[in-house]
Amino acid sequence: MTAVTDSEASLRLRGARAEGGAEATAKMSAADLSAWFGDKQALRRITLPLIERKVTAIIGPSGCGKSTFIRCMNRMHEVVAGARTTGDVLLDGKSVYGADVDPVRVRRRVGMVFQKPNPFPTMSVRDNVLAGLRLSGIEPPDADALVEEVLVQAALWDEVKDALDRPGGALSGGQQQRLCIARCLALEPEVVLMDEPCSSLDPIATAKIEELIHDLRDRYTIVVVTHSMQQAARVSDYTAFFYVGELVEYDHADVIFTKPSDPRTEDYITGRFG
Amino acid sequence: MPRLHTDRLYEGELRKIREMLLMMGAKVEEMLSHAMRALIERDTELAERTLYIDRQINRLEMEVDDLCLRVLARRQPVASDLRFVTMALKVVTDLERMGDLGVNICERVVELNEEPPLKPYVEVVNMAEAAQEMLREGLDAFVAGDAERAQAIVERDSKVDAYYGAIFRELLTYMMENPRNIFRATRVQSIAKYIERIADHATNVAEMVVFMVRGKDIRHVGKLERRGASRGEPELGRRSPPPPEASDSDASLRDMMSVARGPSSRRP
């Protein structure tokens, strides 16, 4: 974790209910963020904080801009041809879109886990964990210790400790997803973005990932994009509802799922949409 | 009213719960009005027949509970649907208790009908009408999703309490006058007490309707305040509660949003 900056300090706020009186800090925030694919606008002036060491869920129907939003957070959006953004994204109060900022460095600090588990199938479990680091040209001094540490964090160690040389592709879907989370954690990110991390998993594997998300927030700021309202209700501290590229509502998850204030949120989460 | 569900089966289940609650309320009303008629007309046969309505209410209670559990398990309702289902689970208990109290009233009526009349029972009937009206209004507010109307019912509970106080004092004079009045006076007093309890349950229903519509819990706080004020206790109750929209956490979230908006350096 980086030290707290002045501008971050200015984001410190007191009294958030979910924190039980502790201070809530925005680790990242989108400020008036818009995004386009060519002529098509995918995000419309989103302003949204991502509270430090909390889980923020982003929900909304297909095409509402959820995935685009998190891809703007670590500058993955711009790698698509014709894609552009306006507005800003702040990490610890500093723009990640600044002229002097290296996008690769941003993506290390703001890691990402994708919908479909994508381990390197023939690479061993061990090498899969280290793959992100090696691709960045880093050979960790004590690789074994690091592999164990992040696999423990990803709640996978007990299941694979005797099979570290087996290929990643031999693991079950849920294990593969936790392996991908371990690979992401090996880069020591500060923020972890998860794009529908459970949508291809069975309920047991989903429950494990959700428990893992719960545990990981002691160390990381987590954003989960999900199609499952129940999942958002289960895992998130804060929930944002997106609709056709706009942020409709953002609040404590408890509030969103018991008493949302915008009728569009109400219609969507109760299943009265479309 | 909210829009219909995309899933029509789900919509049908929620509608069914609503209908069963209304049916229970109608049965309670029926019990109460029959019991009062049996009291005035000294119709023991009617009182005994009325007892059986409670069985139908009990059956409906079990059906509502069962359907609510199924909806919770299979639909995982949220927001207004969640408030509706949890409200139904609570209201059903109040309605069932009202049915039980209706049974108690009928039993006392049967006992009274075996004795010569103590006095005309006008106040008891008026009191029962007031309680019945509270329930009817509560169920209307429930159907219409009208929180204001439901809130007004809560205020009316004190009127029924006042009826009970007056009836109780009058019965005391009868009892002091002649010990032979005691048996009948205590029957009448019990009936008035049962009606007073029915009005309390109707108040609970109204409070749950406010919660269902607004998502705001108005139980106990209001009562504590009212009681404090009426006893002339320190002006705790007079202090207006903080406006619901101005909680600290909401404010901090809003602040957070505006701070995030602050250093908006627009990229070229």
B52 is a domain residue = yes
B174 is a domain residue = yes
Which of B44, B50, B196, B179 shows the shortest CA–CA distance to B111? B44
Phi, psi angles (nearest 5°) of residue A87: 85, -160
Give the single-character DSSP code of B266: -
Q: Averaged over B83-106, what is the pLDDT?
A: 96
* Total domains, chain B: 1
Q: What is the domain range of residue B203?
A: 8-217
Task: Let me know: does B78 contact B230? Beta carbons within 8 Å.
Answer: no
Q: What is the pLDDT of residue A200?
A: 83
User: What are residue A110's DSSP bridge partners?
Assistant: A191
Residue B32 identity (one-letter amino acid)? L
Q: Which residues of A touch B262 (CB under 8 A)?
A: 31
What is the distance, to the nearest Å, from the Cα of residue B88 to the centroid of all Cα atoms in its chain? 12
Residue A62: exposure state from Cβ atoms within 10 A (0-12, 13-18, ≥19): exposed
Residues B129 and B189: their CA atoms lie apart, in Å, by: 16
Q: What is the pLDDT of residue A11?
A: 36
Q: What is the pLDDT of residue A182?
A: 94
Share the mean pLDDT of chain B. 86
B233 is a domain residue = no
Task: Let me know: does A271 contact A91? Beta carbons within 8 Å.
Answer: no
Top-ranked range on mean pLDDT: pick from A10-14, A91-95, B259-263? A91-95
B60 is a domain residue = yes
Residues B22 and B138: their CA atoms lie apart, in Å, by: 10
B96 is a domain residue = yes
B232 is a domain residue = no
Q: What is the pLDDT of residue B82?
A: 94
Which of B224, B246, B247 shows the shortest CA–CA distance to B236? B224
Evaluate if residue A10 carries a pLDDT over 80. Answer: no
Q: What is the pLDDT of residue B120?
A: 87
Q: What is the pLDDT of residue B263?
A: 44
Task: Let me know: does B195 contact B124? Beta carbons within 8 Å.
Answer: yes
Its pTM stands at 0.78
B243 is a domain residue = no
Residues A264 and A98: their CA atoms lie apart, in Å, by: 35
Please tell me which of the candidates A24, A90, A272 has its beta carbon nearest to residue B2: A272
Distance from CA of B73 to the nearest CA of A (A): 12
Evaluate if residue A167 carries a pLDDT over 80. Answer: yes
Q: Could A47 and B260 be called an inter-chain contact, meaning their C-beta atoms sit closer than 8 Å? A: yes
Q: Could B249 and A15 be called an inter-chain contact, meaning their C-beta atoms sit closer than 8 Å? A: yes
B83 is a domain residue = yes
Least confident of A260-274, B134-148, B218-232: B218-232
Distances (CA, A) of B162 to A58, A199, B113, B135, B229: 53, 60, 26, 17, 16
Q: pLDDT, tens digit, for every residue of A114-133?
A: 988 999 999 999 999 999 88
**Nearby residues of A22 by Cβ (< 8 Å), 6 or more positions away:** A16
Please tell me which of the candidates A32, A252, A274 has its beta carbon nearest to residue B264: A32
Q: pLDDT, tens digit, for every residue of B223-241?
A: 555 555 544 444 333 344 4
Q: Averaged over B5-28, what is the pLDDT?
A: 92
DSSP letter string over B114-140?
A: TS---S--HHHHHHHHHHHHHHHHHHH
CATH number of the domain that residue B36 is part of? 1.20.58.220
